[in-house]
Amino acid sequence: MFFLLALVALLFVLAPALRSRHAIDQQSSAQLAAAESRSWYEQRLRELGEEELDAAQKTEITEELAAVLLAEYPQTSPESLDAPIPPAIAEPAGALRRPANVLVMSGVLLVLMAVGVYAQLGSFGASKIQGAQAVLALSPEQDLADLQRWQAVLGEWLGHAPEDAQSWYLLGHTHLKLGEFAQAEVAFAEAHQFARTDLSVKFYWLQARYLNSQGVLDTRSRQLAEEILAADPNSPQVLEMLAVAAISEGDAATAVTLLNRTLNFEQRPERVRSTVDAIAALRSAATAQGGQAGVRVQVGAATEAEYDPMATVFVVARPVGGGMPFAVVRRPAWLLPFEVTLDDLVSMSAERLLSQAQVFEVLVRLSASGDASSAEGDWQWLSPPLNLAEAQILLQASITPPE
């Protein structure tokens, strides 16, 4: 299509030049014919002068010859019959052909320049992979043939264009969907070389490495996970990978911290319930290993009033009277009643551990908007001042609507 358009453009450039040359040729032919007629006319006049005729006869014959010439060439004026014949008739045609030649050469040069620019910025075979983004929506169960076809097309294309990061990314997805985790890892690694800041490439490379190593995170995989969390601190998939790795290493405390973070944005009921159950089991294991002191909070709601099950419940340990929280746990309201534990595993940061607080209070708040900031109409419950140094604390929190 590109070359067809280039040829059409060249024809637009050449058409005026060819038309001008045709007009020049016609003009030259007309001028030559007129010059020949005038030469014949003057020759007849010279022959007439040599004949022995009286003045009246010569005048009559001369007027007849002029009438014949003017009849054949109407554009010839009577005054021009006495003008001298131009010495060269072809000279103007040559002068007019020179701009036409320049125009033709300019058109050819422009087409060559266009081809060169396209070769630098485009790809002559890019039409082969047009529509390859469809692999992202294909299913290995229903679209196996299409996945395999695109895999072959992308592989062939990358043999000619090995720096095409998007094609490496799409090829990695075909391998990932077909269960070819080692090949997917290689493809996403190639894409990462040319798109080092793309979080999608990092995530799928991490996923391919994770699946290829059967759930084991090596140093490079952990580095990728940290890079993703630096840009997206609540990426549930990455947090789950790190939590599973911590469980496999026997680090229940780290697993609890990571799984709690996944609940900040997880909305699927089945995933929320399974995660909450996993946290409870891991806390039991951590307690058996000598767990730290904390506050157990059993949260319920007043039965005489209705609340929005899609609201969010925040359980917060904070300084008495308010301030930056020491620890926070969030759960969906439809999970009520439930129990959570506030300790260092759910602290806001390593610099503000709950175990280091001399005195604090626990606030339980039901937020209809899901916003961590307090708003009018929120249900809440507030504990008296507490101190972890005394003993393990158990609180019964019943949140009620505002008066």
Model pLDDT for residues 23-69, shown as the tens digit of each residue: 555 656 666 666 666 676 667 666 666 666 666 766 777 677 666 66
Sign of CA dihedral 21, 23, 27, 32: positive
| Secondary-structure class of domain 294-399 per CATH | mainly beta
Higher per-residue pLDDT: 371 or 209: 209
Question: What is the C-alpha to C-alpha distance for residues 243 and 316, in angstroms, rounded to an integer?
Answer: 23
> Residue 330: which region, alpha, beta or left (left: phi > 0; alpha: psi -120 to 50)?
beta
pLDDT tens, position by position, 351-401: 889 988 889 999 999 998 888 888 888 899 999 999 877 556 899 999 988
Q: Is 398 in contact with 379 (CB distance < 8 Å)? A: no
pLDDT tens, position by position, 274-313: 999 999 999 888 776 655 678 999 999 877 668 888 899 9
pLDDT tens, position by position, 243-257: 999 998 889 989 999
Residue 92 pLDDT more than 80?
Answer: no
CA angle 72, 78, 81 (to 5 degrees): 85
Mean pLDDT, all residues of the chain: 82
Per-residue pLDDT, 89: 43
Exposed/middle/buried for residue 107 (C-beta within 10 Å: 0-12, 13-18, 19+): middle
pLDDT band at 208 (very low <50, low <70, confident <90, very high): very high
Tokens of 300: 């319920």
Per-residue pLDDT, 210: 95
- What is the arithmetic mean of pLDDT over 6-16? 72
Residue 231 pLDDT more than 80?
Answer: yes
249: helix, coil or strand? coil
Exposed/middle/buried for residue 231 (C-beta within 10 Å: 0-12, 13-18, 19+): exposed
Q: What percentage of the chain has pLDDT greater than the value 70?
A: 72
Q: Which string of DSSP letters, residue by residue, matches 68-94?
A: HHHHH-TT--GGGGGSPPPS-SHHHHH
Residue 70 pLDDT more than 70?
Answer: no
Domain 137-232: what homologous superfamily?
Answer: Tetratricopeptide repeat domain (1.25.40.10)
Give the DSSP H or E segment for 9: helix 2-50
Q: Is 325 in contact with 317 (CB distance < 8 Å)? A: yes
